[in-house]
Chain A
Amino acid sequence: MSTSTNIKTIMKRELSGYFTSPIAYVFLVIFLLLTGFFTFTIGNFFERGEASLVSFFTWHPWLYLFLVPAVGMRLWSEERRLGTMELLLTMPITSWQAIVGKFLASWLFLALALALTFPVVITVNYFGAPDNGLIVAGYFGSLMLAGSYLAVSCMTSALTRNQVISFILSVMICLFLILAGYTPVTELLSRFASPVVVDVVAAFSVMTHFEGFQRGVLDTRDVVFFVSVIGFMLFTTGVIIRNQRAG
């Protein structure tokens, strides 16, 4: 049987798993409430008086910090807890197909949540004439950011059968990915480190690469960064899953 059929089968199961439990609905409601709250209340969307979604996208790295690990924490830890991992990995599929299928399902779910924020796009277009190319780039960057966090959660969920541990580990790693390029941190760092070191550390941060998309710049380097984070984390997930069985 072909790789894509296997991945699709795994994806379908994983995605329907979100919707047969309350997780999906709770997540969607909280995600939409929080994005609205951050954009309009804390981000002063109306007071800014500009036709852009800056106040919307600025908060995504922080919002995702807690929400994406909440989606990803169960990916493999649940399989281990239920013992279904043994069932899944003795099926005639490769572990890569299972890892990619599960990851894509969760990513698709996050994409759905992101798509449901469309009212802000309508709002900003109603009140002014924003650069919609910039908004598309912003959404694309946001989706890449969510994918990177999700790949981190996928990796931490393979480490443990305990979802709480998986969640906390994943938040810590994602926080590092933010802080390495967060302006207050880079300023602090530049006081006692050479600019080269500061740049190298900042290059590992999702912030540095996320900001490019917000300015409407689709830089290949930024895309490559996010794709490599996802690739690396999924690869690590595969290694962890194999090593656990190797004893």
Chain B
Amino acid sequence: MINVEHLVKAFGPKLAVNDVSFSVERGEVLGFLGPNGAGKSTTMRMITGYYPPTSGRITVGGHDMVEAPIAAKRLIGYLPENAPGYADMTVNGFLNFCAELRGLQGDARRRAVHHAVDLCFLESVLYQSIDTLSKGYKHRTCLAQSLIHDPDVLILDEPTDGLDPNQKHEVRGLIKRLGESKVVIFSTHILEEVEAACSRVIIIDRGRIVANGTPAELKARSPEGRLEDVFRAITLPDTVKAEAHA
């Protein structure tokens, strides 16, 4: 469903993403793990068509993101980092706007908005403006936007950031359910989340993929069978080295 080949993104002389390749098929939930600034968000921004890659190729459902961006973007639902939303709009207005941009009209639009509101428990804030929402609600509003057109591919950048433990639990459950019929890629730096929701994990450090496997496979790499030890073993020496150089 998603194919990423030799993806590179340079900002000036700095390589934010350096030769990343992977593919994800329907029914998979892929977790992106990595320290802050490892290139998780940059990779996601390229897959969703926000950043053009410096080199490399991305196809979504067979559509090349650079050559046929509209067809590729249609298949994707995206929750950007920090869950942005138009401050002056109501939740209802915002979701209707997003549904319209997704090509939904009339009854189909109303049904889609209603469904997304149900999925994300937004009924109580439907007519509240986005800038008056608490962080959790704001986050769920943006999540609802990504689900509104029932996309085949979901790209979620830190979907549980800023949520309380109950909400985190709900969102993980939702990701797992959606992952049965779709492709879900989500980033996080919460390790237990990966174990709870992912069928596969990719660990990114300083722009490169340093591990790719099921949570069980990765855990087997550590004598105690803990994901945290594996994560530290892979990413920590590099970080320390980087600091020593700087």
Contact = CB atoms under 8 A, between A and B. Distances in A.
Contact of B98 (A16, A86, A91, A242): A91
Interface in B59-81: 70-71, 73-74, 76, 78, 80-81
Given A9-B97, A17-B86, A82-B86, A87 B80 contact: yes
A91 B101 contact: yes
B15 to A, nearest CB: 10
A5 B12 CA distance: 37
Contacts of A84: 84-86
A242 B69 CA distance: 14
A82 B48 contact: no
B88 A17 contact: yes
B83 to A, nearest CB: 8
Given A20-B88, A83-B84, A246-B52, A13 B74 contact: no
Contact of A86 (B16, B50, B74): B50
Interface in A81-131: 82-84, 86-87, 89-94
Interface string A1-42: 100011001101100110011000000000000000000000
- Of the candidates B9, B70, B88, the one having the most CB atoms from chain A within 10 angstroms of its own CB is B88
A94 B11 CA distance: 23
B89 A82 contact: no
B173 interface: no
Nearest to A20: B88
Nearest to A1: B103
Q: Helix, strand, loop or mixed for chain A's interface?
A: helix
A12 to B, nearest CB: 8
Contact of B12 (A90, A93, A247): A247
A247 B73 contact: no
A245 interface: yes
Contacts of B86: 13, 17, 82, 84
Contacts of B51: 245-247
11 contacts: A10-B101, A12-B97, A17-B89, A20-B88, A82-B84, A83-B84, A84-B84, A84-B85, A87-B142, A90-B78, A247-B10
Interface of B: 9-12, 16, 45, 48-52, 54, 70-71, 73-74, 76, 78, 80-82, 84-89, 93, 97-98, 100-103, 129, 142, 145
Interface of A: 1, 5-6, 9-10, 12-13, 16-17, 20-21, 82-84, 86-87, 89-94, 242, 245-247
